[in-house]
Amino acid sequence: MELDSLYQEVILDHYKKPHHKGVPTGAIQVHHVNPNCGDEITLSLDIKDGIVRDLIWDGVGCSISQASASIMSDLVDGKPVATAQVALKEFTELMQSKGAISGDEDILEDAIALAGVSKFPARVKCALLSWMAFKDAAIQNGAEL
């Protein structure tokens, strides 16, 4: 798999120094796995006044899955649910595009670095794992996504 080298650096940075990674402490914890690759994530968050708060995740797996979790956390934690939903939709579309679209950088920020992954169907689930965990946890905390 070859990704643009600048993008590869962004992914590697998040992989080496993941953001919002720790021991999830929320009352509702979700655990998602990607058996194709062996990626796992446990995630908890809180939603107060329509804002995503206290997102913490822990996980193991490939660099794509771990970097994606770090990037996703930056994009949704501290943001209104509606903003997080826009990012979720944009990223999901990007991953399902098979390389046809490059994504909106204003919305996706560092997640744009994962655009090339959409050309590799086997890795799309790695990139989407944490986003699906976020969606699940947000819904379980009462958000309408």
Instruction: Catalog residues that contact Zn ion under the rule CB under 5 A.
Output: 37, 39, 61-62, 65, 126
Least CB distance to Zn ion at residue 36 (A): 7
Cβ proximity to Zn ion, 37 vs 139, nearer residue:
37
What 3-state class would DSSP assign to 107? helix
Please provide residue 78's backbone torsions phi and psi, each rounded to the nearest 5 degrees: 85, 5
**How far apart are alpha carbons 133 and 69 in whole angstroms?**
9
Angle between helices 63-76 and 121-140 (to 10 degrees): 40
Least CB distance to Zn ion at residue 3 (A): 14
Cβ proximity to Zn ion, 61 vs 116, nearer residue:
61
Amino acid at 133: A
User: What does the block give as tokens for 47?
Assistant: 């939603």
Cβ proximity to Zn ion, 45 vs 126, nearer residue:
126
Least CB distance to Zn ion at residue 46 (A): 27
| DSSP letter assigned to residue 21 | B
Cβ proximity to Zn ion, 28 vs 62, nearer residue:
62
Cβ proximity to Zn ion, 47 vs 67, nearer residue:
67
| DSSP letter assigned to residue 33 | E
Least CB distance to Zn ion at residue 144 (A): 29
Least CB distance to Zn ion at residue 113 (A): 16
**Nearest C-alpha neighbor of 85 from the set 67, 103, 107:** 107
